[in-house]
Amino acid sequence: MFRYSEILENKSTLLSIVIFVVVGLLAIPVVLPHISHQFQVFHILLHLAGISFAVFLSIISALAYSKNRTRRLLFTMIAFSMFVVSESFSVIDAAWQYTYYLGEFSAAELGHILMIGTLGMFALSVFRRD
């Protein structure tokens, strides 16, 4: 039987698990209704890949932050987490265009705002002197 620490230490196993979990959770509610729309499915799958890699990198950066506790790693972890949320809004916009709004902002605009926030967090982590 595997221990959780073995899964977290083996990055390829962790990446495989994250990809299967993300695609498994989102395949039926997001991909399946659009299966007959070929180009829309490819667009959705592109964003699902982005979510999968962003979740993987968020987990890795959270593990690195828990070991080292530097502000640079904290900002990097926040940036990857913001990118997960940004890609989630992009998937919503790719699957159901012009349907979901938060006040005056559509899901696409919220995704772009969060991407700018992600870049800002990366800039803070790059230029930070710890």
Contact 82, 121 (CB under 8 A): yes
* Among 54, 59, 48, CA closest to 82: 54
pTM of the predicted model, to two decimals? 0.89
Question: Which conformational region is residue 97 in: left (phi greater than 0), alpha (psi within -120 to 50 degrees), or beta?
Answer: beta
pLDDT at 130 over 80: no
Residues 99-107, mean pLDDT to the nearest whole number: 83
Across the chain, mean pLDDT equals 91
Give residue 2's pLDDT: 59
pLDDT at 1 over 70: no
The single-letter code of the amino acid at 38 is Q
Structure confidence by residue, pLDDT tens digits, 32-57: 988 988 889 999 999 999 999 999 99
**79: Cβ–Cβ under 8 A, 6 or more apart, which residues?**
118, 119, 121, 122, 125
Contact 113, 103 (CB under 8 A): no
* Among 91, 85, 88, 92, CA closest to 121: 85
Which is it for the CA torsion 71, 77, 79, 81, positive or negative? negative
Return d(Cα 36, Cα 32) in angstroms, integer.
Answer: 9
* Among 73, 76, 78, 100, CA closest to 88: 100
